[in-house]
Structure 1
Amino acid sequence: MFELDGRIVLVTGASKGIGAAIARIAGAAGATVIAHYGGDRAGAEAALADVPAERKKLIQADLHDLAAAERLWDEAEAWKGRIDVFVNNAAIMRWNGGIEEDDETWDAVWAETLQVNVLAPARLMRRALKHFLANGGGILVTISSWGAQRGVTNPATMAYAASKAAVKAMAQTVARAYAKDNVLTYIIAPGVVGTQMSESFAATQGGTEKVFAGLAMGEWVPPEDIGNLVTFLASGKARHLSGATLDVNGATYVR
């Protein structure tokens, strides 16, 4: 386990799935964790249950609202006066965005997906970058998706794939533009991770067994694999990995 003693880590979407695993494992590694949640405070509390009170803070923010995203950063930064690592994880996936939908539904799915998965994260990434530049550097970890590389299996979720490609491109641009300023930037592209979102996806594909049949390891990617990877990246021990997109999909999609 890499030690994160003294590091302050902000994780969005920390109440379930990948975000909860990241918050839990970073906390176990000694980090002070700021856990953002949308509506599930109990999930965020459970993720940080073993982290001492002085090393954790929970902040609610609805990322459908850009002003809420700004308030999230303000409150997170004000707590300890700095943020060392920002993990851009929170996202939604809507299942009714296929081309056969009526125009109103199509537009609504795209508008909501881009708002929550791109516009709000872009605001937070911008705030993080300004903060890092003012404080001698920092670490940005963006959770993208293999869907941003290869497209998605279910075309009804193409807005999700597009949104994950957008944040990936922004993070890569930050990596290239600010590497000399000690801003380390990493992109993680998970495959099918064992989360509620993946279980919903499996239901659209004929069930878990059908999904597993198409995976090289025949199983979900454990959320803990992502949490362990983020903890390693947050340690700052791989500076020259900055800019990389790291695939975590159990050898199902090999580039």
Structure 2
Amino acid sequence: MTEALSGKTILLTGASKGIGAATARILLDAGAHLIAHYGSDEAGARRAVDGYPEDRVTLLSANLGDRASTLALWDAALAWRGRIDVLVNNAAVMPFNGAFDGPDEDFEAAWDQSLEVNVRGPARLMRAAVNHFKEAGGGAIVSISSWAAQRGVTNPATIAYGASKAAVRSATQSIARAYARDNIQAYIIAPGVVRTRLSEEFAASQGGEEAVNATLASGEWVTPEEVGNIVAFVASGAARQLSGATLDVNGATYIR
């Protein structure tokens, strides 16, 4: 993947930790110019890109649950180099307080947060990206979804999260179909259990890591780096006809 992304400018959301931090380093190693978005964890974002040339990376903060902040993120990202070639929708939240039998206010808050940050924020960025790509002659969108979008969630308290990942998957697929002739590609990556803070919190709610591992065909969690490598591959343009596909990354636990 060395220099496979040379000359490309990529906007990556949620670059401060987990999949985002690993992906940021992989994209930079592949030669990309990177706009690394973060919500509130500036220190994490800086750690993720530490050691890379300052002229190839810039950090931008935005609240993806807020329309004005999200649109300002796009404008600032576009202004950095005058062009964006790839948008990677990675940032997401997973509220654990949305159970059907919980308090009404917790249920509503979980859905509001999931829909704003995981769906409307990415949708606003995808809209801006598509309009920019049409003028620029093409581009690509990569959305990090989840196997929960296809199979549902294990913990019913996170139903809003699973539903939000299904929504962003559908939106990305629709872009792939509608704009293929405009040289716009769109890909969905659907990981299973990835070694991230969110998954560790999920495991704790399911009886611990050993209990989760017992349900996995490989007995292993997906590494953030493996997801990042797939992002870099589709972002490179090496598989344009893969546009619209959902790439399952779960160690053969869930096969469709």
- 1:253 maps to what in 2? 254
1:45 aligns with 2:46: yes
Distance in 2, Cα, partners of 1:205 & 1:156: 11
> One-letter code of the match for 1:202?
A
The 5 A counterparts of 1:5-20 are: 5-20=6-21
For the aligned residue pairs, the C-alpha RMSD in angstroms reads 0.7
- 2:193 maps to what in 1? 192
The CA deviation string for residues 178-201 of structure 1, in whole angstroms up to 9 with x for no partner, is: 000000110000000000000000
Paired-residue identity, %: 62
Q: Which runs of 5+ in 2 are unaligned?
A: none
1:87 aligns with 2:84: no
- Please state whether the residue corresponding to 2:10 is helix, strand or coil: strand
Cα deviation, residue 50, structure 1: 2.9
- 2:61 maps to what in 1? 60
Q: Which runs of 5+ in 1 are unaligned?
A: none
Structure 1 segments of 4 or more deviating over 2 A?
Answer: none
Cα deviation, residue 103, structure 1: 1.6
The CA deviation string for residues 60-93 of structure 1, in whole angstroms up to 9 with x for no partner, is: 0011211100000000000100000000111000
The CA deviation string for residues 85-104 of structure 1, in whole angstroms up to 9 with x for no partner, is: 00011100011101011222
1:149 aligns with 2:145: no
> One-letter code of the match for 1:59?
L
Distance in 1, Cα, partners of 2:159 & 2:9: 34
Instruction: Give the alignment's TM-score, normalised by structure 2.
Output: 0.98
- Please state whether the residue corresponding to 1:133 is helix, strand or coil: helix
- Please state whether the residue corresponding to 1:240 is helix, strand or coil: helix
- 2:226 maps to what in 1? 225
The CA deviation string for residues 101-139 of structure 1, in whole angstroms up to 9 with x for no partner, is: 122211111111101111111101100111101100001
Distance in 2, Cα, partners of 1:30 & 1:78: 20
> One-letter code of the match for 1:100?
D
Distance in 1, Cα, partners of 2:86 & 2:47: 21
Distance in 1, Cα, partners of 2:236 & 2:119: 26
Instruction: Give the alignment's TM-score, normalised by structure 1.
Output: 0.99
- 2:209 maps to what in 1? 208
- Please state whether the residue corresponding to 2:87 is helix, strand or coil: strand
- Please state whether the residue corresponding to 2:186 is helix, strand or coil: strand
- 2:245 maps to what in 1? 244
Distance in 1, Cα, partners of 2:109 & 2:82: 38
Cα deviation, residue 219, structure 1: 1.4
- Please state whether the residue corresponding to 1:10 is helix, strand or coil: strand
The CA deviation string for residues 207-227 of structure 1, in whole angstroms up to 9 with x for no partner, is: 011111111111110000011
Distance in 1, Cα, partners of 2:52 & 2:33: 8
